[in-house]
């Protein structure tokens, strides 16, 4: 079953923060976050392998709550370049390397 | 970084013809390649997993005779849409999993730029 992301869409002003959530009905081994611009391939943002792990990349960070089968992506001080659709990709078993992508969150950052 | 090349980027064909899409890992060896399909404003749906030298594993609901996958080498996988029909029109994206020693790199999928297929 496809992980559910929330919100479905969000509009921000430059400099504002946003949180995107990814919830799975299955136990997860890892969560990956990608950003996709219109008509382009998804671009890798980060991977979280352990429960409770938080990773950061510039002003984008993420957490993984293994118990709740959830991950959240945090975008702080958003920039225009953050616009796009964000997907979580979940792997439910170690060694399969097979992702099931979430429903997606469309993010638009306005000047 | 790891680069995956996908070709062609766009193809328009007549109904009933077959279309081949290539996915190449340019600077790394890919143990596994994945094929996805994406409809407008929707998520990526996994179609099949392809391992070098073995038959592809198709997801439920994906016709293996319709979507032929060949993973000929550690750097090349092809998807052939046979007897394409208008309902096959979509954005097809491949990804490759790197065969590195580092476990984190091994878990990451690197995506091609996608192929937009339009069947008339």
Chain B residue closest in CA terms to A50: B104
Residues B77, B111 contacting (CB under 8 angstroms):
no
Measure CB to CB from residue A41 to each of B41, B104, B112 and give the nearest one. Answer: B112
**Distance between CA atoms of residues A35 and A82, nearest Å:** 8
- Given a cut of 90, is residue A103 above it in pLDDT? yes
Burial class (CB in 10 A: 0-12, 13-18, 19+), B72: exposed
Distance separating alpha carbons of residues B110 and B107, to the nearest angstrom? 10
pLDDT digits (tens, 9 = 90+) for B44-98: 999 999 988 788 999 999 999 999 999 888 899 999 999 999 999 999 999 998 7
Q: ∠ at Cα A91 (B106, A52), nearest 5°?
A: 95
d(CA B49, CA B77): 10
Tokens at residue B71, please?
């993973």
> In chain A, what percentage of residues exceed pLDDT 90?
59
Query: Average model confidence (pLDDT) for chain A?
Result: 89
Contacts of B108 in chain A (CB under 8 A): 32, 44, 47
Q: Does A41 touch chain B (CB under 8 A)?
A: yes
pLDDT for the residue B104: 52
35-54 in B: which are within 8 Å (CB) of A?
Answer: 36, 41-46, 49
Does the bond joining B8 to the residue before it have cis omega, within 30 degrees of 0?
yes
Question: How far apart, in whole angstroms, are the C-alpha atoms of residue B38 and residue A45?
Answer: 20
Q: What is the pLDDT of residue B6?
A: 96
Q: What share of chain B is helix, strand, coil (3-state, %, to 5)?
A: 5, 55, 40
Query: Is some CB atom of chain A closer than 8 A to the CB atom of B60?
Result: no
**What pLDDT was estimated at residue A75?**
95
Nearest to A47 among B42, B93, B108 (CB): B108
Handedness of CA A46, A34, B62, B4 (dihedral sign): negative
Q: Give the residue on A whose Cα is nearest the Cα of B34.
A: A98
Q: Are strands B115-119 and B90-98 parallel, antiparallel or unpaired?
A: antiparallel
| pLDDT over threshold 60, residue B103 | no
Distance from CA of B42 to the nearest CA of A (A): 7
Q: What is the mean pLDDT of residues A2-26?
A: 96
Q: Which residue of B has its CA nearest to A44?
A: B110
| Chain segment A54-82, per-residue pLDDT in tens | 677 778 999 998 888 899 999 999 999 99
How far, in Å, CA of B35 to CA of B63, rounded? Answer: 13
Give the helix/strand (H/E) hosting B22: strand B19-25
- A101/B46 Cβ within 8 A: yes
């Amino acid at each position: 079953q496809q992980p559910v992301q929330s919100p479905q869409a969000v509009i921000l002003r430059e400099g504002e923060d946003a949180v995107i959530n990814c919830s799975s009905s299955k136990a997860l081994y890892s969560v990956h976050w990608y950003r996709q611009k219109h008509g382009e391939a998804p671009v890798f943002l980060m991977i979280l392998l352990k429960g409770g792990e938080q990773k950061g990349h510039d002003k984008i960070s993420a957490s993984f709550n293994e118990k709740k089968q959830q991950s959240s992506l945090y975008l702080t001080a958003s920039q225009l370049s953050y616009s796009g659709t964000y997907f979580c990709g979940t792997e439910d078993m170690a060694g399969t390397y097979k992702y099931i992508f979430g429903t997606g969150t469309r993010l638009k950052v306005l000047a | 970084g790891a680069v995956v090349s996908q070709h062609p980027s766009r193809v328009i064909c007549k109904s009933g013809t077959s279309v081949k899409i290539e996915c190449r890992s340019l600077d790394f060896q890919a143990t596994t390649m994945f094929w996805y399909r994406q409809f407008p404003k929707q998520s990526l749906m996994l179609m099949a997993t392809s391992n070098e030298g073995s038959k592809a594993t198709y997801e439920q609901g994906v016709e293996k005779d319709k979507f032929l996958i060949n993973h000929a080498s550690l750097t090349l996988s092809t998807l052939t849409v046979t007897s394409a029909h208008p309902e096959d029109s979509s954005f097809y994206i491949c990804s490759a999993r790197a065969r590195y020693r580092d476990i984190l790199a091994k878990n990451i999928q690197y995506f091609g730029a996608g192929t937009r297929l339009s069947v008339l």
